[in-house]
Amino acid sequence: MKRVFTCIGFSMAIALFALCFVKNEYAIWLTVGLAVLLAVSLIVPKIRQAVVIPLSLSSAVAACLLFVAVTNIVVQPVKSLENTSALCSFYITDCGKTVGEYKEYTAKIIQADDEKVNVKASLYLNKDINLRSYAVMKGNLNFNSVGNDALSSYGKYADGIYISADCVLTDYTGKIVHSPFRYVVALRQSIRNKLSYLMSGREGGLSVALVTGDKSFLSGDVKNAFIYSGTSHIMAVSGLHLSVVTGVLFFILKKLRVKEKTSSAVCIVAVLVYMALAAFSGSVTRAGIMMIILLSARLFSMRGDSLNSLGAAVTVMCLANPYAVSDVGTDLSVISVLALITVYPFASKNMKMDYVDPLQKTTKEKAYDRVYSTFGMFYISLCVFAFTVPIIYIFFGYASIIGPLSNLAAVPMGSLCVVMSFVTYFVSLLGITPLTAVAVVLSTKCDALLIKICEFFKAFNNSVLGFDYLIGLCIAAVLLFFAVAFFMGNDKILKNTCILSLVFTVLFVGTLSVYNFNCMSLRVFQNGAVVCTYKNKTIVYGVNSNWDESSVSKYLQNNSMPVDFLVTQRSLDKPSLLSNDVSVNTFVCDEFDDVVLVGARYNNLEVQNTYNAVLDENFSFCYNQGDVIIRFNDITVGSNDSCDIKISSSKIIDPNGTVELGKSNTIVYKIKNKNSFKVRRLNQWQK
């Protein structure tokens, strides 16, 4: 068996991903079930001789045991701190990032109420407070949950963080934790400071994101442009960035006539440093391990196998943290590479051209080369999109169908921007002002062009499909059916799979449509804007910021949703701007202003302090001097304190607890009645 690590790694990853979708109490039953299948595979001679089946099952069982052990021994004791307070000693292990009204740090807590502990946590402070990395501090910490499970933590569990805390800082102790990572954090901070100072504005924030993976300097409009153009992966430090860095380094070392083995060793060190610089995010860790394996093969004059290297990277990550598969960046990175290694070569062999003389190509052959090259890049994007769309739906609830096309221009430009950002930083260290100025201008121009490319593709209406995450599970199941049929290599099985997939999809989508038709959908955006829909009736209110106006507009346009009632709160100009982008039937406000006549478009205008509307037998809303209350069955939603789900510009209070809007981009509710509703977060930017 040639690709042992491929079998082990993906078996572990699939088992762990399945565990993320079940409650903890069911994890042991899944483990027992897989153990029984393993025993059967070892008893039956024909199955045992296949090797791959017992190996896959044993890997899955090992992953389940690891998951159960970590959950009960590590996670549960840390989660027991929820809703408690303690005087703690701790130190910061990163540079921190601004999240809404907060500054978020990753902290290591070493003492709580005079007891020694070793807990990693997300720390939230006032955004005006800056802390020193690896300096031991004391403060009162109020502990909160980061999520009930790995998926609801949105990448926190994958980082080994199972608790968060609001901090009231008291004092520095004067002690310093001496760790080699302290210098890496200092380097990251230096890059952030230099690039954000030399290249202020949108371009500076983009350069910081491209080099370090830190997106806290990015403005809302730039984030939106990358999200809706399907190019946000460019800012997740991964194989693209490592390939650029090691490629440039290899080129320099080759020009200096350094031996290949020495160059490989230097590049391995560079990869490790860059992984630390990007805070060992899931995507860069996957790419880094693969790169180190392939570079190590050169050291020993061996040939590396890409699929086995990917399997080895997945194995290491699963063993290091069984929750690694809950990080969307890791999943997208692994699946993208899997698509490039498997499907693309299988289908791209038909795109090769036979030359009369490869050394003396004719003009026509050169033209065909360019056409094939362009189509090849598009086909790569298409393969990656097809593989990653289930994960995108499950985690984000949308997919940009313009992505395969936008990446043709964005990826090469992104590679150039990465190089120029690094060049700008290193040139600035030389202190030669004219040279630094030239580098800054070139880098700024490259970043500005990349942003314009993303904004251009973002402007296409209906370029983003938004569905319930269950649709993503349906797509994933269908792809799994085809994967099994493909590996069995039987035409009859493949035809039956097509029929089975069609029947399964129709039944699944039909059942889901009936359920959704009888539920009210509530979508709350980052700063409190609300889109409420029930049986093709839509109410929009709370659009008071540029970010929410842009997000709500794009959401409504992509889903071809007209607005029955657009209700203003505090601001008239943002709802007026929104009404220019989407169809609005009734515009409701409590005061008159010229902007309503000049800047807004609607069928009806209601200037009232109090307004009531019944949209269906069980669905109505009332507007009273700025307060909005939506009634559906026996539940109320709105800005009033008496509502079952109270929504403000900073948080949501519902029967399940409180959600800070500044810490999450979009909250989606599916409501049937007061005792039956589901809620989840969307568009959460992870590492």
DSSP string for residues in 49-74: HTSHHHHHHHHHHHHHHHHHHHIIII
What is the pLDDT, as a whole number, of residue 69? 92
Whether residue 508 contacts residue 662, with contact meaning beta carbons closer than 8 Å, is answered with: no
Whether residue 154 contacts residue 681, with contact meaning beta carbons closer than 8 Å, is answered with: yes
* Mean pLDDT of all residues in 80-90: 90
* Mean pLDDT of all residues in 555-570: 82
What is the pLDDT, as a whole number, of residue 346? 63
* Mean pLDDT of all residues in 335-339: 83
C-alpha 207/C-alpha 204 separation (Å) is 5
Query: What are the helix (H) ranges across 44-176?
Result: 45-49, 52-70, 76-79
What is each CA distance from 280 to 22, 71, 121, 445, 643, in whole angstroms? 27, 22, 16, 29, 43
What is the pLDDT, as a whole number, of residue 687? 35
* Residue 468: strand, helix, or coil: coil
Whether residue 535 contacts residue 558, with contact meaning beta carbons closer than 8 Å, is answered with: no
Confidence class of residue 435 from pLDDT cuts 50, 70 and 90?
very high
Query: What are the helix (H) ranges across 199-259?
Result: 202-212, 220-228, 239-255
Positive or negative, the CA dihedral 669, 675, 676, 681 is positive
pLDDT at residue 686 tops 50: no
What is the pLDDT, as a whole number, of residue 487? 58
Q: Lowest mean pLDDT: which of 231-240, 354-363, 433-442? A: 354-363
Q: What counts of helices (H) and strands (E) characterise the chain? A: 22, 23
* Residue 540: strand, helix, or coil: strand
Geometric angle at alpha carbon 357, from 356 and 362, rounded to 5°? 80
* Mean pLDDT of all residues in 84-104: 84
Q: Residue 566 CB: number of other CB atoms within 10 A?
A: 24
C-alpha 659/C-alpha 666 separation (Å) is 11
pLDDT at residue 469 tops 60: no
pTM here is: 0.74
Locate the DSSP E strands across 537-665: 537-541, 563-567, 584-589, 604-607, 610-616, 619-624, 627-632, 635-638, 645-647, 651-654, 657-660
What is the pLDDT, as a whole number, of residue 357? 58
Q: Which residue, 566, 524, 569, is CA-closest to 547? A: 524
pLDDT at residue 73 tops 70: yes
pLDDT at residue 66 tops 90: yes
Share of the chain above pLDDT 70, in %: 87
What is the pLDDT, as a whole number, of residue 340? 80
* Mean pLDDT of all residues in 569-576: 82
pLDDT at residue 358 tops 60: no
CA 253 to chain centre: 35
Confidence class of residue 385 from pLDDT cuts 50, 70 and 90?
confident
What is the pLDDT, as a whole number, of residue 439? 92
What is the pLDDT, as a whole number, of residue 445? 93
What is the pLDDT, as a whole number, of residue 685? 40
pLDDT at residue 446 tops 90: yes
What is each CA distance from 192 to 54, 95, 97, 594, in whole angstroms? 49, 9, 11, 44
What is the pLDDT, as a whole number, of residue 12? 92
Q: Residue 83 CB: number of other CB atoms within 10 A?
A: 10
DSSP string, 352-412: ----S-TTS--HHHHHHHHHHHHHHHHHHHHHHHHHHHHHHHHHHSEEETTHHHHHHHHHH
Beta bridge partners of 99: 102
* Mean pLDDT of all residues in 627-651: 86
Beta bridge partners of 653: 646, 658
What is the pLDDT, as a whole number, of residue 489? 57
Q: Residue 342 CB: number of other CB atoms within 10 A?
A: 17
With 0-12 / 13-18 / 19 or more C-beta atoms within 10 angstroms meaning exposed / middle / buried, residue 353 is exposed
C-alpha 210/C-alpha 640 separation (Å) is 42
* Residue 428 identity: S
Confidence class of residue 91 from pLDDT cuts 50, 70 and 90?
very high
Decide which of 664 and 550 is more confident. Answer: 550
What is the pLDDT, as a whole number, of residue 516? 67
pLDDT at residue 461 tops 70: no
Mean pLDDT of the chain: 82
Decide which of 510 and 447 is more confident. Answer: 447
Q: Which residue, 156, 71, 98, is CA-closest to 328? A: 156
Return the top range by mean pLDDT from 27-41, 127-141, 278-292, 297-311: 27-41
pLDDT at residue 488 tops 70: no
pLDDT at residue 13 tops 80: yes
What is the pLDDT, as a whole number, of residue 397? 67
Rg (CA), the chain: 27
What is the pLDDT, as a whole number, of residue 62? 93
Whether residue 376 contacts residue 419, with contact meaning beta carbons closer than 8 Å, is answered with: no
